[in-house]
Amino acid sequence: MKEILYDCSRKMSELLTEEPGLIRILQRAGIPLGIGDGSIGQVCRKHGVNPDFFMLLCNIYTHENYAPTLSRVLETPMAQLVPYLKASHDYYVSKRLPHIEQHLHHIARQLPAKAADVFMRFFESYKREVTDHFAHEEQLVFPHVEALQRGEADTNYSIATFIDSHGNLEDKLNDLVQIIFKYLPGAVTSEDSVDVVYDILQVSSDLNKHSLIEEKVLVPYVKHLEEVVSR
Partner 1 sequence: MKTRVLIAEPSEIIVAGLVQLLSEVSRFKILDPVTDASMLDERIIASKPDVVIVNATLVPSAASVRTDRNISVIALVYQYVEQLHLRRFDAVIDIRESRASIVETIIEATKTQTQHDGDNTTNYELSKRETAVLVLVAKGLTNKEIAEQLNVSPHTVMSHRKNIVHKTGIKSVAGLTVYAMLNNLIDESTLL
Residues that bind partner 1 (CB under 8 A): 111, 114-115, 117-119, 122, 125-126, 171-172, 174-176, 178-179, 182-185
Contact 4, 12 (CB under 8 A): no
Distances (CA, A) of 204 to 90, 172, 201, 211: 15, 9, 5, 11
Distances (CA, A) of 6 to 10, 40, 59, 214: 8, 10, 7, 20
Q: Strand, coil or helix: what is 211?
A: helix
> Quick one: 65 or 183, whose CB is closer to partner 1?
183
Distance from C-alpha of 13 to C-alpha of 213, rounded to nearest angstrom: 23
- Least Å distance between CB 192 and partner 1? 16
Distances (CA, A) of 39 to 51, 52, 63, 77: 10, 13, 20, 19
> Quick one: 174 or 230, whose CB is closer to partner 1?
174
> Quick one: 77 or 167, whose CB is closer to partner 1?
167
- Least Å distance between CB 100 and partner 1? 15
> Quick one: 181 or 198, whose CB is closer to partner 1?
181
- Least Å distance between CB 76 and partner 1? 35
- Least Å distance between CB 202 and partner 1? 19
- Least Å distance between CB 205 and partner 1? 17
> Quick one: 57 or 108, whose CB is closer to partner 1?
108
Distance from C-alpha of 179 to C-alpha of 112, rounded to nearest angstrom: 15
Q: Strand, coil or helix: what is 39?
A: strand
